Structure 1
Amino acid sequence: MSISAIGFDADDTLWQNEQFYRLIENRFTQLLADYAEPTDLSARLLETEKRTLGLYGFGIKGFTLSMLETAIEVTDGKVPASVLSEILAAGREMLSHPVEPLPHALTALEALRSDYRLILITKGDLFDQERKLAQSGLGDLFAAVEIVSDKNAATYSRIFSRHADGAERALMVGNSLKSDVVPAIEAGSWGVYVPHALTWSYEHIEAPTTQPRFRQIEHLGQLQDLVGKLR
């Protein structure tokens, strides 16, 4: 069956995101340099994030809470209030960072919107994702927008059935193999991987190269030609 809908991830697929997390994480390790080495602090922070995803979810607010928890843990509860205040300020700064669309994002969406139903499928904090979409200038190019708490095969089956002709006639594009590509393929869709240099380590898994519906491109400028070959 021919493709009738294309789903797009947002963060680090359509606009820059992870670079801001890396900058704040570096600041976090500097604030706590008297208590642990930077690599150890980063590892502790990642473990806290993984442990609390079920409570805080994905996004900046959960990241900020994880930094606060880690700071308390590594200092045995002795972290200065000034450090906690700076961590909170860093979180607020992230929530107001400018949105920088990635190369080819706008042209790819404009080229595909007339032939396919475009759906934005992103996970994270509702208010922050809505803010970034509004500031990106890309919102009007989508027929539907879904902001979800997590992404799995059931997520894609539900969304592509609700807004399009089902998962088998849909294609999902994203920079995360774990969240965007593999679960979409499991739902019956095509999965197109667009690597980003700064993808969060939590999202790293092996590429499903043996799956017939897996494809990889270097950038979004190659997407229109790829989709045309799959019709």
Structure 2
Amino acid sequence: MPDAPLNIADASFDLIGIDGDDTLWHDIGNYNLTEEKYRTILSAYCDLENMGDILLKTERKNLKIFGFGVKGYTLSLIETAIEITNGQIKAEGIQQIIDLGKEMMSGSIDILDNVIEALELLRPSYKIIVITKGDLFHQEAKFARSGLTHFFDGLEVVSNKDVQTYGALLSRYKIAPENFLMVGNSLPSDILPVLELGAWGVHIPYHTVWEMEHSDKDISDISRAVTLDNLVDVPNLLLGDK
């Protein structure tokens, strides 16, 4: 039996998974912009000093009920608005918040720099799928509108990214963990679970991190993981002079 590869460049991959939000296309900026508009709506009713903390607390609580995605986020915005205005927010204000959610659901898709170049280089040599979490309808719509569908062999929308989810996915694709590479911007969602499973991970940090995706974990000393600056660095690493 051959020795196990010591680094990603020497490994053999039967499947590469790539995250969608903030890896292929910009996403968290839409949430930040929405929150700015949300603050403007609520400023007519109350002091907003602790709004961010209350909203985050509400989101954490509601994840167990609504899951990830814009629809659950919009419901959390409404619930938070009712709480911090002591129920004084009017129907007009609630409608404005709902409209913010609709804007997010139907907004344009802004592809990150060098993504197309990276996919053009990877596509001839690898089977590639998008693995993203959130609302099924919204993620399917974003993928369809992205203009990237022809680069991929499939789209997997999951409710959560944990060891069990990745394990079930690899079992369905009949891929051994040592032959799977996951690429994404989130350590807790894209990298740490696959490393625990025995697979490989490429972390490509995004300049803004959602609080619930934050991690202080250092992966620099893990041979099956690497941090790169840009998606185009992935084919450069894997293909080299091949």
TM-score normalised to structure 1 length: 0.94
> Given the alignment of the two structures, is residue 220 of structure 1 paired with residue 231 of structure 2, yes or no?
yes
Structure 1 distance, partners of 2:174, 2:216, is 29
Q: Read off the aligned partner of 1:60 and give its amino acid letter.
A: V
Percent identical residues: 41
Give the match for residue 175 of structure 1. Answer: 185
Q: Where in structure 1 are there 5+ consecutive unaligned residues? A: none
> Given the alignment of the two structures, is residue 91 of structure 1 paired with residue 101 of structure 2, yes or no?
yes
Cα distance, 1:164 vs structure 2:
5.0
Structure 2 distance, partners of 1:172, 1:208, is 17
Cα root mean square deviation, aligned: 1.5
Structure 2 distance, partners of 1:193, 1:164, is 24
Cα distance, 1:208 vs structure 2:
3.4
Secondary structure in 1 matching 2:190: helix
Asked whether the equivalents of residues 182 and 208 of structure 1 are also in contact (C-alpha less than 8 Å), the reply is no
Give the match for residue 48 of structure 1. Answer: 58
> Given the alignment of the two structures, is residue 36 of structure 1 paired with residue 47 of structure 2, yes or no?
yes
* Match for residue 18 of structure 1 among 12, 28, 34: 28
> Given the alignment of the two structures, is residue 146 of structure 1 paired with residue 156 of structure 2, yes or no?
yes
Q: Read off the aligned partner of 1:224 and give its amino acid letter.
A: P
Q: Read off the aligned partner of 1:91 and give its amino acid letter.
A: G
> Given the alignment of the two structures, is residue 197 of structure 1 paired with residue 207 of structure 2, yes or no?
yes
Q: Read off the aligned partner of 2:238 and give its amino acid letter.
A: V
Deviations 1:178-213 (A, max 9, x none): 111111111111111111112211100023323221
Give the match for residue 147 of structure 2. Answer: 137
Deviations 1:113-145 (A, max 9, x none): 221110110001111111110111111211121
Give the match for residue 73 of structure 1. Answer: 83
Q: Where in structure 2 are there 5+ consecutive unaligned residues? A: 1-10
Cα distance, 1:165 vs structure 2:
2.2
Give the match for residue 7 of structure 2. Answer: none
Stretches (4+) displaced over 3 A: none
